[in-house]
């Protein structure tokens, strides 16, 4: 075994050094633990009262205060309603934005038409121009439309999400042209072609897009904060931020709410992450 063979960590076959592997794995495990500690602590703190959380020594194991915390959340922030708001908005947004981005991605990836590059470039402008530029005029637009405190005010402005369109165009570009052309030969209409021929092989990309859109909307904070004014229309992040601003902050309750906010992340992590990361990876590789 030559030393030069072991040194390159990226070569696949030549390495037979178990010591280095164990060292690397345990090093990364330590780093991952540092990343994961806040999540563990969050789950533990959600089951304690404010006093217990700030006691010395701080609690490191689950306590028995979870139901009380949830009760407090419901009493002080209509949290049941807030969860439904968040869920409804995120689901509707995912479906609508998913459709808009997928259709656009397909159009840009598989057709050659006049103005294609110009129009795509225009959409990608949205990635470069900071969101803050549109914040104020969008807020005024929503006020003029009398959309403040409505779900559509949260959902509509971000439906044509540049990143989503970009991701779908990247993925759709992998569709073999012959597949589409042979469909056309068979007299298949354009919409049917999209639905029956183009979409089925796109399932992993669609899953990645769906997860991305859902989490984007679920976590979005600034825009909902601006257009939602009434406690009963709040989404989870807005409600949590409003609770934190109170004079007497009940951290047990807030952290229980924060744990609820983290549930989709846990689901994605446990069930769908494979799809998600590999879907994003596939989109990123072919730049």
Partner 1 sequence: MTLAPPAPAPARTKAPAARPRRRGRAAPYLFVLPALLLFAAFKLYPIGWSFVMSLHRTVAGVDTYVGADNYTRMLDDPLMWTALRNTGVILAVQVPLMLALATALAVALNSTLLRGRSLFRLGFFLPMVTGLVAYGIVFSVLLNKDYGLVNWLLGQLGIDPVPWLTDGLWARISLGLALTWHYTGYNAVLLLARLQTIPHELYDAASVDGAGAFAAFRHVTLPGLRPALLLTTVLSTIGTLQLFDEPYVLTGGGPDNATLTIGVYLYRNAFTYFDFGYASALAYALTVLIGLLGLLQFRLLGEKP
Give residues 184-223 in contact with partner 1 (rule: CB under 8 A).
184-185, 187, 189-191, 194, 215, 218-219, 221-222
Site mask for partner 1 (CB under 8 A), range 25-44, x = bound:
x-xx--xx--xx-xx-xx--
Kindly give, in sequence order, each residue whose CB lies less than 8 Å from that of residue 45, ignoring residues fewer than 6 positions away: 53, 59, 251, 252, 255
Contact segment (CB under 8 A) with partner 1 among 62-70, 74-82, 202-210, 275-283 equals 275-283
Smallest CA-to-CA distance from 104 within 159, 155, 154, 156 is with 159
Distance of CA 244 to the CA centre of its chain: 23
Binding of partner 1 by 145 (CB under 8 A): no
Nearer to partner 1, 78 or 254 (CB): 254
Contact segment (CB under 8 A) with partner 1 among 61-69, 74-82, 94-102, 199-207 equals 94-102
Nearer to partner 1, 35 or 200 (CB): 35
Query: Using CA atoms, how far apart are residues 9 and 25, in angstroms rounded to an integer?
Result: 13
Binding of partner 1 by 133 (CB under 8 A): yes
> Can you tell me which of 108, 151, 166, 234 binds partner 1, judged by CB under 8 A?
108
Smallest CA-to-CA distance from 234 within 131, 153, 157, 138 is with 153
Contact segment (CB under 8 A) with partner 1 among 63-71, 75-83, 134-142, 201-209 equals 134-142
> Can you tell me which of 66, 175, 207, 268 binds partner 1, judged by CB under 8 A?
268
Kindly give, in sequence order, each residue whose CB lies less than 8 Å from that of residue 173, ignoring residues fewer than 6 positions away: 109, 110, 286
Smallest CA-to-CA distance from 236 within 73, 46, 68, 36 is with 73
Contact segment (CB under 8 A) with partner 1 among 71-79, 87-95, 103-111, 201-209 equals 103-111
Binding of partner 1 by 129 (CB under 8 A): yes
Binding of partner 1 by 148 (CB under 8 A): no
> Can you tell me which of 91, 95, 174, 244 binds partner 1, judged by CB under 8 A?
244
Site mask for partner 1 (CB under 8 A), range 69-88, x = bound:
--------------------
> Can you tell me which of 92, 123, 197, 199 binds partner 1, judged by CB under 8 A?
123
Tokens of 185: 């030969």
Phi, psi of 251 (to 5 degrees): -70, -30
Smallest CA-to-CA distance from 205 within 246, 247, 175 is with 175
Tokens of 4: 């030069």
Binding of partner 1 by 152 (CB under 8 A): no
CA triplet 219, 39, 66: central angle to 5 degrees? 90
> Can you tell me which of 126, 201, 204, 231 binds partner 1, judged by CB under 8 A?
126
């Amino acid at each position: 075994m030559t030393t030069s063979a072991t040194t390159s960590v990226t070569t696949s076959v030549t390495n037979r050094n178990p010591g280095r592997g164990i060292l690397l794995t345990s090093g990364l495990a330590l780093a991952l633990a540092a990343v994961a500690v806040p999540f563990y602590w969050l789950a533990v703190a959600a089951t304690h009262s404010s006093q217990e959380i700030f006691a010395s020594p701080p609690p490191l194991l689950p306590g028995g205060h979870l139901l009380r915390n949830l009760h407090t959340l419901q009493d002080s922030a209509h949290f049941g309603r807030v969860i439904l708001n968040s869920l409804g908005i995120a689901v509707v947004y995912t479906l609508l934005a998913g459709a808009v981005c997928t259709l656009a991605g397909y159009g840009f990836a598989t057709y050659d038409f006049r103005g294609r590059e110009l129009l795509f470039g225009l959409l990608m402008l949205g990635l470069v121009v900071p969101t803050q530029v549109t914040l104020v005029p969008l807020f005024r637009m929503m006020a003029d439309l009398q959309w403040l405190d409505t779900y559509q005010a949260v959902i509509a402005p971000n439906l044509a999400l540049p990143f989503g369109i970009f991701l779908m165009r990247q993925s759709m570009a992998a569709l073999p042209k012959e597949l589409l052309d042979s469909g056309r030969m068979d007299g298949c209409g354009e919409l049917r072609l999209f639905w029956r021929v183009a979409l089925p092989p796109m399932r992993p990309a669609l899953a990645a897009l769906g997860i991305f859109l859902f989490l984007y909307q679920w976590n979005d904070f600034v825009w909902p904060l601006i257009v939602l004014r009434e406690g009963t229309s709040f989404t989870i992040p807005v409600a949590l931020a409003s609770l934190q601003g109170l004079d007497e902050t009940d951290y047990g309750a807030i952290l229980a709410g924060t744990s609820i906010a983290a549930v989709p992340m846990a689901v994605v992590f446990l069930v769908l992450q494979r799809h998600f990361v590999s879907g994003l990876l596939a989109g990123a590789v072919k730049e």
